[in-house]
Amino acid sequence: MKLLKSLAAAALVTGLLTSAALAETVVKVTLIDKMTDSDLSKPLGLGVGMKADMSKAPMGVAVNPKLATPGAVRLDVTNLASSLVHEVQVARITDESQVLTYDQSRNKVDTEGLEILGSVAEIMPSKSASLIIDLSPGKYLLFCNVAGHYMAGMWAIIEVK
Ligand SMILES: [Cu+2]
């Protein structure tokens, strides 16, 4: 009887662990751009922590939900752009006021000093891609680092807690 009880307890624990592992948060990530005649050859200054008016941003990343639980997080990324290829990189940031180091000559975020946790490269227009990453509590920046895109507003923040 004692053995049966401990077996049942073990089964219960295993069951809990399994369901926890499967309970990944799904975040829908939508890549958008409304390219009219924006000149991206010079940084537009719409990066994180730059206190810019994001309503003027010609590009963006929309995330839903913005909050995830710690553990496996699946990013379902869809590129809704009409003609441009985009990408998504995931980096841990301290908070919304963190200004990233920017490489002016390449017109890209300098990722050297960043903790990049994953990325989805080159998503063609109207295509989707998924990425599963293990995230601990904190704030994460999702951004596109195609030249000029980050400074054009292509980023969003998700929080894991
Ligand atoms: Cu982009």
**Coil, strand or helix at 137:** coil
The CA 90 to ligand 1 mean position distance, Å, reads 13
pLDDT in tens, 100-120: 999 999 999 999 999 999 999
pLDDT in tens, 83-93: 899 999 999 99
Query: DSSP string of 85-122?
Result: -EEEEEEEES-TTPPPPEETTTTEE--TTSEEEEEEEE
Residue 15: which pLDDT band, with cuts at 50, 70 and 90? very low
The CA 92 to ligand 1 mean position distance, Å, reads 19
Could you tell me the fold of the domain covering 24-160?
Immunoglobulin-like (2.60.40)
pLDDT in tens, 133-154: 999 999 999 999 999 999 999 9
The CA 131 to ligand 1 mean position distance, Å, reads 17
Q: What is the mean pLDDT of residues 54-66?
A: 95
